[in-house]
Every structure is written in C-alpha cells, then in structure tokens.
Structure 1
Amino acid sequence: MTAGLLVLALAAGFAAGWIDAVVGGGGLLQLPALLLVPGLSPIQALATNKLGSVFGTATSALTYRRRLRQDLSTALPMAAVAFAAALGGAVVAAHLPAGVIR
C-alpha cells in the first residue's frame, strides 16, 4: 500500500466516523474507500466496514441505555431479529462471487 493510499484510507475512516457520529451512514463513505485498498477482498472490506458499525452502534446503545430506561420486552426481540438478519446477510455475502460485490 502506498503512503497516499494509506492517507486516503485514514481520511475516509475519520470522515466516516464523523458522519456516523453526527447523522449516521458513514459506511456509505467508508466501504467504497475500503474497496480501493489493494489486496483487500470485497468480503474483507465488508467485514471491516461492519466491524466499525458494530462498535459505533454498541456505543450508542450503551449511552442510550444509561440515559433512558427502555422496555426490554420490545428491544430484545428486535435485537434478535437484527442479529439473525445480519448473520443471514453475512452468509449470503460470503457465498457471492467476487465479481458481484465489486
């Protein structure tokens, strides 16, 4: 990886983090930047992008949980459905040919 590409990837990561913190949707910037990194497969780019999203969402959820008392009887089934859908999406992405993702 060249120094210029490293700087571009870092800048995209910081910009995506800022966008996520302000309005959400930073992955729309981060994923295309990750796909430009040579040697990184599309699956690795998707997984890296999703890892950042997981940490951001977990931080937001913990902050929300500390500040407000929510109804866990509603939140837990929603979390289970979201987990199952994410797992299903990961399985589908892992089985797609590389040309479909790029």
Structure 2
Amino acid sequence: MTVMAVVILLLVLAGGVGLVLSGVGKLQTEVPTCYGRPMAPGDICHARVTGPVTDGMPEPHDTTYQEQLDGLTSGGWTSIGLGLVLVVLAVVIGLAWAAGAAGDDRNP
C-alpha cells in the first residue's frame, strides 16, 4: 500500500467523521429564525418579496415555526447519513488492504 493510498483513505475517513459531526451540530440547533429574529412555536415567518420571481425560482411563501425547524434539521440527517457511508467505506477499504497485505506477507 502506497503512502498516497493511505493519505486518501485517511482523508475519506476524516471527511466522513467531519460530516457526522457537522450533522449532529445541525440537529442541535435550538431556535429557528425568521430573517435573523428567533421564532417561537406558533410564529409564522412572512416571506419578503423583493422583486419579480423568475422562471425556475421557487415562489416565496410564508413558513411556520415547525417548517423552519424541519428545514434546519433535515440537512443534519443527510450529513450524518453521508458521513456514516464514508466512514464505513473507509473502514472496509482499510480492512481489505490490510487483509491483502497480510496475504502477501504469507506468500513471498
């Protein structure tokens, strides 16, 4: 196994751990905001329309406290899932390389 392969494996592992930690941090978000102001349950964030909506752009709409909270946490779960996939991939590849290296040592 080359040094470059080890570096790549460690980068994939570090990226996976970073994504998991980032996702956990997103799930710890305490209060959704509306244009920088904290919201409370029952609040509605009224969309500000500053100009014409062009093709391909979503129409601005009002959102509730729960919708804002769901928007904050959904990215967290995605990040955790992707991070876990990368961690598992790095572990499987590392174990396969280690098993291959052990097999090469037994058969000179």
State the TM bucket, normalised to the shorter chain: 0.3 to 0.5
- Give the alignment's TM-score, normalised by structure 1: 0.35
Structure having the higher strand fraction is 2
- Give the alignment's TM-score, normalised by structure 2: 0.33
Instruction: Flag the structure with more relative contact order, 1 or 2, with Cα contacts below 8 A and sequence separation at least 6.
Output: 2
